[in-house]
Amino acid sequence: MNRSERIRIFCTELKQWFAVHKRTLPWRDLKIKDSNHRAYLVLVSEIMLQQTQVSRVIILYKNFIQTFPLTKHLAKATNREVLIAWKGLGYNSRALRLRDAAKTIVEKFHGKFPHDSEHLQSISGIGHYTAGAIRNFAFDLPTACIDTNVRRILHRCFVGPEASDGAFKVPDKKLLVLLEDVMAEAIESGWKARDFYAALMDFGSLVCTKNNPKWNLMPFKMRPIFKAYGKTPVADFSKKSLQGKKREPGREVAGKFIPNRIFRGRVIDAL
């Protein structure tokens, strides 16, 4: 089977799978017709999702948006106000970076999110993937961008399983070229950019998971095209993994080690 045929089958089967299994997430609300406001909601969700599970983000996202419903509201927020609204998500520097991004959008772009990747990435806190997510989800502009879900799906379908140390054998630069071809086929076959990327996110979260992929839930016709189908990712027994997980920063209190993140949480509680 050549690559073009593999891509065609992948797009066709993914579309059918997504029609049945797509997740309902608040930042995907298409009833919001204002694309600039959708861009704000996507930005907030993407920053939250960087290091926090979807189930937790859903709960806290709604409260955050109620507190700061528009970009201009977040741009005016103090550190204290932002951190209180962010409570429970952890990694609080993300909240301040998000607020600073909102300030830039208001001050430099007059409250309007730029549509092109270059200007989006000129905003502090918005990298290549987040810019692509905003373009795809908010503006429906087809943009190839890679995160952990996309990387894992493409690699397992077109290359094979990860290496024994968990690393991917093909660099993102090459996967990005492949993704552009896959996305071109998807758009040509009738996909909207926002739906295609939502499908990739959902498929990576529900089926093509990092550990113990749910191969039995994969569409039957998609199975033959996945080069990693039926193979369980190999545990990492490299020297690095055997050394154990690096201890996070913290301090000893009354003979007990307390991570710094716990102290930061207590500070927020006192605000």
Query: Are 230 and 256 part of one and the same domain?
Result: no
* Domain CATH code at residue 219: 1.10.1670.10
Query: Are 134 and 109 part of one and the same domain?
Result: yes
Structural domain ending residue among the three candidates 141, 175, 194: 141
pLDDT tens-digit series, residues 216-247: 999 999 999 999 998 876 544 344 444 455 56
Could you give the residue numbers annotated as active site?
46
Query: Are 37 and 137 part of one and the same domain?
Result: yes
Could you say which residues of the chain have pLDDT below 70?
Answer: 233-248, 250-271
Give the residue among 37, 91, 89, 107 at the shortest CA–CA distance from 68: 37
Contact indicator for 224, 11 with CB cutoff of 8 Å: no
Strand partners, 250: 259
Cβ neighbors of 17 (< 8 A, separation 6 or more) are 199, 203, 207, 219, 222
pLDDT tens-digit series, residues 13-40: 999 999 999 999 999 887 888 999 999 9
Q: What residue numbers bound the domain in which 14 lies? A: 1-23+145-237
- Predicted confidence at residue 267, as pLDDT, reads 53
- Predicted confidence at residue 108, as pLDDT, reads 97
pTM of the model: 0.85
Structural domain ending residue among the three candidates 103, 122, 141: 141
Query: Are 36 and 137 part of one and the same domain?
Result: yes
